[in-house]
Structure 1
Amino acid sequence: MKGYVQIAATGAALAALLWLGWTLARPMPAPATATAAVLWTSGAVAEGRRAADGVPEFALATAEAPPGVPRIPDVAGLRRRLPQLRRLEVKGDGLAEADLAATRGLEVRWQRPESPPARPVLRGLGAPRTLARGDRLAVHGVAAGLPPGGSTAVALTAPDGAVATATVTAGADGTAVFAVQSAAAAATGRFEWTLRIGADGEAATIGVAVVERERPRVLLLQASPAPEFARLQQWLADEGAPVAARIRVSAERFRFVAANGAPAEVAALDAAVFAAFDAVVSTEAAVAELPPAEAAALAGAVAQGGLGLLVVGEAAAARAESGLLPWAVPALPADAGMRLARLRLAPGLALGDAVAVGESELPELPNARTVVADPQGRILAAVRPRGAGRLGRSVMADTWRWVLAGQGETHALVWRELLAAVARPAAVARGSWDLADAAPVFAGEAVRLRWRGPAAEIPRAVNVETGADSDGVKVGVTASADGREAAAVFRPERAGWHRIGAPVADGGCDLYVYPAEALAEFRAERRREAMAARAGEAAGAAAGGPEDARGNGPWLPAALFLLAAGWLWFRERKG
C-alpha cells in the first residue's frame, strides 16, 4: 500500500511540474489586480506595436484592434473590471468627453497618430448658428488631406444654389486654413448651406437660422460736430435703429438730435438715460470732457448695467482716467496720410473692397478680441469685457469717406460688426437661450444650453422640440450662483433641426444637429486635441511597470514547484 502511495505522490509531483511549465509559458490573463492596461480606440492601426507581455489590452466598440482583444463599452466599465488600474495607454485618435472624464486619477499615455486622411476632409469648422437677414454667412475652418503645395477650391453653396468659392494652398502637411462667405441672406427662416472641400472631398451641411436684425439703441456723444458721426447717425436712422446724438456746440451748450423713438433732449446723462440705450459711441475727447457725475454714471452703466461703450477716432489731447479708455493710442502728426487696406472682420474674413484708413493701430491687451484688422494683422478695432458690459476702441476715423467713394456696403458691414461686438444684446434684457459652445453638435453627444436674462425669470425647465414628436423633451435647468445665467444639458438623439425653448423672436434658439457619423475627421481631431491636453496632465499616482500587470506574482506555481521538487529529491535520497 505504501508503494502505491509513493507512486501516486511521484506522479502528482511530475504533473505539478508539467502544469507549472505550461502556466509560465502561456500569456497571463488580465487579473483584477492589474495596474496598467492598453485601450484601442478608433483611428488606431491594428498592426501597430502590441503591449508588453502581461499588460492586458482592451478595445472600444468602434476601434480596429488586433484579433482576440476583448471589447468594452467604455472606460468606466474598464475601471470596474480593473479596480487597481493606475496607468492607461491609449492607441488611436483618443477618447470622447465622457470616457475622458472617466480617466480621472489615471496616468494617461497617448501618441498622436501620424496617418493623414486619404481625401480632402474638414478638420476644423466654424460658422454662426444664427444670421441676421441681410448679412453674409461667413464660414471658416481647417481642411486636411490636401495635396501638399497644391491649390484646392472650397465651395459654399447657398440654399438658392448660388456658389461662393475660395482657393487655398496646402502646406507640407496637407492642411490649409480657409474662409469663405456667401451672398447676403434675403429671407428669414431655417436654411442649409453646403460646404465642400475640393471636387471630390468631404461635404458638410451648415444649418443656419436667419432672423430679423436686432437694432441696438445707440447714443452718440461728440465733443464737436463731425462728418463721421453725422454719417453714422444717418445710417443708423435709415436702418431703423433708435439713435440719439448729443453734440457740444459751445462750452456750455449741447445740441440733441433723436430718431426712431430714442429719448429726446435730457438735462444730464445719468443711470436712467444710459439704461435707455444698448451702446454709446463716442470720441476720446467727448469721454474726457464728461463731468465727474456723468463719467461715474457711464462707468456704472457699463460695469453693472451691461452697456457697451465704443470709442472711435484719433487720440484726444487729454485722456480721462476713468478706466473707460484702456487702449493708449498715440496721437499722429498733423500731416499723417491715409492708406488703402482690405479689412478683415473676425474671424478673419477679408472684405472685397480696399478702403482708406489712417496709420493708427491698437496695441494688444489681455482679454481683448480683435474685431477689425488689416492684412498685416494690425488691429484697427477691438473689444474687451468690463464687468457686465464691454468696452470697444476703433481707430478708423473717416469711414464716412467710404460712402462717398461708393463703398457703402463696406461701411455698413463694418459698423454692424462693431455695434454687434460692443452693444448690450437685446436678448439679455428679455431672457434668451443659446449654446455655451460654438462648436457643431452631433446626435448622441451632450450639449450645454445656456440661458441669460433677469434672475427673476430663470425657468425651471426648458422644452426642446426635436421634430420627432409634437410635445418635445423637457430638460431641467440649473441656475448659476450669481443668478445671472442658467444652464441645461441636452443629449439630442436624432439629426436635424431642434428648437430650444420658445421661437427665436421670443428668446428661443434654433439648433441644427449633425448625424452621429458626420464629419469624422473633425470629431477625431477634437478627440486628439483633448487627448493631447489630458496626456500632459500629471497622474494622480505613479503606475507600475509591465510586471505590475500580473498582480501579486505566481505564488501558487512557486509553492507547487517547491513541494514537487522537494518530494522528488526526497524519493531520490530514499532510493
Structure 2
Amino acid sequence: MTPGLLTAVVLALASFAGMLRLLWRQYRAEPPHRARAWRLGLLLLAQPLCAALLHLTLFPPPLRTPQAELTVLTAAAAPGAFAADTARVSLPEAPAGLSGERAPDLATALRRHPQVRRLRVIGAGLEARDREAAQGLALSFVPASQPRGLLEWWPPQRAGLGNAFVLHGRAHDLAGGSAELLDPAGQRIDRVELGRDGGFRLEGLARAAGPVEFALRLRDARGTAVETLSLPLTVVAPPTPRVWLLAGAPNPESKYLRRWAEDAGVRLHTQVALGAGLQIGDAPLPIDAATLAGFDLLLIDERAWDGLSDASRAAVSAAARDGLGVLLRATGPLSARTRAQWRGLGLALGGGADALPARWPAQPRDEAAVRARLGPGSADAPRRADQAPGEAPLLSRRALALPADAQIWLRAADGAALAAWRPYGRGRVAVWTLSDSFRLVLAGRDELHAQLWSEALATVARAGAEDAPVRDEASPLDPFRQYRRSALCGLGDSARVMQPDGRVAALPIDPAAGARRCAGFWPQHPGWHLLIDDERRVPFVVRAQDEAPGLRANELRQGTWALVRSTPATTVADAAPPRWFAPAASARMPAWPWFLAWLAAAAALWWFERSRLGRRNTASAGAA
C-alpha cells in the first residue's frame, strides 16, 4: 500500500468517526434542543471536505502534461525529414551539419531528457548499442533510402573439400542485372540473372583446403559492374570417407567410380563378382557388423544384393540403423524378392522393368563458367583454356516409382526422380536409378560426374561431427565488422582471437551470458582472424567499416523495424520507462493552494460548530 493510499484510508476513517459523533449527539439530545436539519447537513458534509483537502495538501494531484517526443537522427538522415522546431539529438553516425544536440549514444540522450516517452528515428536506423535503450518506448521509424547493390545474403562459412556450396542473396535497384561468382583465381564459375525481387542463387565448388576468398560481383542491366564483394570461405578437409562398392558384375560404371574416388580422395574398397564365387578388385571382406562399422557408405547394386546371405542382409540393415549410409543401385530389373527386402528398408518401389532415357537437367552456367569448373585437365589429357565444353550426353535410368515420402535430391530435365533417400534409424537408405553416369566422363563433362557422386556421398554417407562455424551473435545479418562490437558464444575459459597484426585479444566470458558463455569482441582490423579455444582453431573474416554498405544499411533497418514491431499496443502514457535510468518524479501541482483551502475550511468549521446558527433553543449551548 502506497503512502498516499494509506493516508486516504486514515482520513476517511477519521471523517466517518466525526460524522457518527454528530449523529449520536443529535440522537441523544432532547427534541427541543436538537439542531435544525440544514445545520446538521452542513456539519456532516464538512467532515469529508476537510479530510479531502488535507489529503490534497499532503499529496497534490499530478499535472497532466503531454508526453515528450524526441527525434533521433542516425546515419543517412536527410535534413528535410524532420521539422525545424522538433527536439532532436544526433547520434555519432548522423551526417555532419545537421542541427541538433550531439550525443554519444541513445542512452546518454535519454538520461539528459528523462521526460521522453516517444522516439522518432530518422535515417538508416539504430545501432546495436542503442536498441536496448529504446526498448519500452513508443517508437516510430522513418527509414532512409537503401543504397544500390547487395542488400542481404546468406553466405556459407565453410565447405567440405571437393563439395559444392550455395550462395543465396538479394540485390537492390538492379532490375535486369546479374550476379556472378568468382573463384579465388578470379575466374567466373557461375552466373545467374537477378529475379524480380533481386534474388539470386549461385553455386561454387571448393577445390583447395584452407581459408580462401571467392567473390560476388553484381552487374546492372547494361553489364556494368556495380559491386564486388569478397566471400570468405573455410574449406575443410573432412576425414577420408570410407566407401565399400559391391557390384554383381564388371561394368564401366564401377571403373569410373574408382577413378572418381581416387581423384576425390575417397578411400574406396571394391568387390566385383565374376560368377562361380570369383571376384576381382580388392581383397574380399566379410559382410558383418564389425566390417560395416569401418565404412561410411555402402554402394551395392541389385545383383550384388541378391548374392548376399540372409545374415549379411541383416548385418547391413543393423549397420544402417547405427548410422551407415546404404545406396542401392538399381541397374536392371528387380526381382520380387529384392523388392520385398528393399521394402523392409523403407523403400517401396514400383515398376522398374524398363529402361528410359534421362536427360541431364539444364544448367544456368555459361560456357566460361563451365570451362572454369572443368579446369586445365590432367597431364595425360590436357584441356585448352578456349576449348568448348561438350554437351551432357543422354543417360538411361530404370523406370522405378520412388516412395512418395522419400527425399528426392536428383531429377532429370523432365522432372523424373533419379535418386531419393529415407531415414533409417540413425543412417540413411537411398535408391539410385541411373545406370550409366560414366557417359558424362566420356563426353568430357568430368565436373558433372564428380558433382553427381560428391552429392551422393554428402547426402547418404554416415554423418560425422564437425566444429560449428564462428558466428556473431550480436549482428547475425551483418557479422564481424571493423570497430563494431561482436559477440562470440560457446567459448571456453582460455578463448582468444589472433588478429591480422599478430596481436592476441583475450575473450573474457560475460557472467550475464550464463550457459551460453558469450564474450564481447571489438575488431580493430579487417581481414582474417583466428579463434583459438583450447584445441579448436577456427578462422573468420572481419569486414572493413565501409565495405558492403547495403548489407550494413539493411541490418540497421531490420533491427530498428524489429523494435517498432515489438512496441506493445498500449497508450504512450502506459509505456514503461527504460530500466537503465530513473525517470524524474511526476510533476505535481503546488501544495500551498490546497493548504490554504483546508485551513479556511477548518477555520470555518471551527467557528460554525461554536455558533448558535441553526439551533432550536438558542439558550442551550451544548445541543450540537
Q: TM class, shorter-chain normalised?
A: 0.5 to 0.7
Structure 1 stretches of 5 or more lacking a match? 1-22, 31-35, 259-263, 452-458, 568-575
Match of 1:468 in 2: 501
Find the partner of 2:529 among 483, 498, 514: 498
Deviations 1:3-39 (A, max 9, x none): xxxxxxxxxxxxxxxxxxxx99xx9684xxxxx8775
| Count of residues in correspondence between the two structures | 487
| Residues 137/83 of structure 1: CA separation in 2 closer, same or farther (3 Å cut) | same
Counterpart CA distance in 2 for 1:145 and 1:102 is 33
1:470–1:551 distance in 2 versus 1, CA, 3 Å: closer
Within a 5 Å distance, the mapping from 1:58-137 to structure 2 comes to 60-63=91-94, 67-68=99-100, 71=103, 73-74=105-106, 92-95=123-126, 106=136, 113=143, 115-117=145-147, 119=148, 121-130=149-158
- Structure 1 residue 177: Cα displacement: 1.9
Distance in 2, matches of 1:91 and 1:383, equals 52
Q: Give the distance between the partners of 1:266 and 1:401, measured in 2 at CA.
A: 30
1:343 touches 1:373 (CA, 8 Å); kept in 2? no
Whether 1:401 aligns to 2:401 is no
Is 1:284–1:319's contact at 8 Å kept on the other side of the alignment?
A: no
Alpha-carbon distance in structure 2 between the residues aligned to 1:278 and 1:219: 8
Aligned to 2:23: none
Conserved 8 A contact 1:464-1:473: yes
Q: How many Å separate the matches in 2 of 1:488 and 1:378?
A: 48
Equivalent pair of 1:361/1:378 in contact (CA under 8 Å): no
Structure-to-structure mapping, 1:384-423, within 5 angstroms: 395-423=433-461
SS in 2 for 1:435: coil
CA deviations 1:211-262 (Å, max 9, x no partner) are: 6575311123557766544532442145442222466788x9795844xxxx
- Which of residues 489, 505, 514 is equivalent to 2:543? 514
For normalisation by structure 1, the TM-score amounts to 0.63
Q: Are the structure 2 counterparts of residues 420 and 299 from structure 1 closer, same or farther at C-alpha, using a change threshold of 3 Å?
A: closer
Whether 1:545 and 2:569 are equivalent positions in the alignment is no
Residue 229 of structure 2 is matched in structure 1 by 204
Q: Does 1:278 align with 2:281?
A: no
Q: Which residue of 1 aligns with 2:202?
A: 179
- Distance in 1 separating the partners of 2:115 and 2:419: 55
Query: 1:402: how far off?
Result: 1.7
SS in 2 for 1:342: coil
Q: Which of 356, 361, 372 does residue 336 from structure 1 map onto?
A: 356
Aligned to 1:570: none
| 1:379-458 equivalences in 2 (<5 Å) | 395-424=433-462, 428=465, 432=467, 434-435=469-470, 441-443=480-482, 444-446=484-486, 448=488
TM value normalised by structure 2 = 0.59
Closer, same or farther: CA 396–471 of 1 in aligned 2, 3 Å: same
Structure 2 CA distance for partners of 1:546 and 1:432, relative to 1, 3 Å: closer
- The separation in 2 between residues aligned to 1:266 and 1:502, in whole angstroms, is 41
CA RMSD, 1 decimal: 5.6
Deviation of 1:114 after TM superposition, in Å, equals: 7.7
Distance in 2 of aligned mates of 1:490 and 1:415: 42
Task: Kindly indicate whether the alpha-carbon contact (under 8 Å) linking 2:330 and 2:433 is maintained by their aligned counterparts in 1.
Answer: yes
Paired residue secondary structure (1:232): helix
CA contact (8 A) 1:107 1:542 kept: no
Indicate conservation of the 8 Å contact 1:343/1:374, yes or no. Answer: no
Instruction: List per-residue Cα deviations over 1:481-528 (Å, max 9, x = no partner).
Output: 99xxx976563512111123399xx86332222123321211332444
Counterparts in 2 of 1:240 and 1:281: CA distance versus 1, 3 Å: same
Give the counterpart letter for 2:145 in structure 1: S
Tell me if the contact between 1:88 and 1:109 (Cα under 8 Å) persists in the aligned partners: yes
Q: Give 2:173's aligned amino acid.
A: G
Q: Does 1:297 align with 2:318?
A: yes
Among the aligned pairs, what percent are the same residue? 24
**Does the Cα contact within 8 Å between 1:287 and 1:320 map onto a contact in 2?**
no
1:267 equivalenced with 2:286 (yes/no): yes
- Cα gap change, 1:530/1:547 in structure 2, threshold over 3 Å: closer, same or farther? closer
Give the corresponding residue for 1:143: 171
Cα deviation, 1:21-66, whole Å, max 9, x if unaligned, reads: xx99xx9684xxxxx877555455554467999xx86664324697
Displacement after TM superposition at 1:99 (Å): 5.2
Range with bigger deviation, 289-298 or 202-211 = 289-298
How far apart, in 2, do the equivalents of 1:100 and 1:330 lie? 58
* Partner of residue 573, structure 1: none
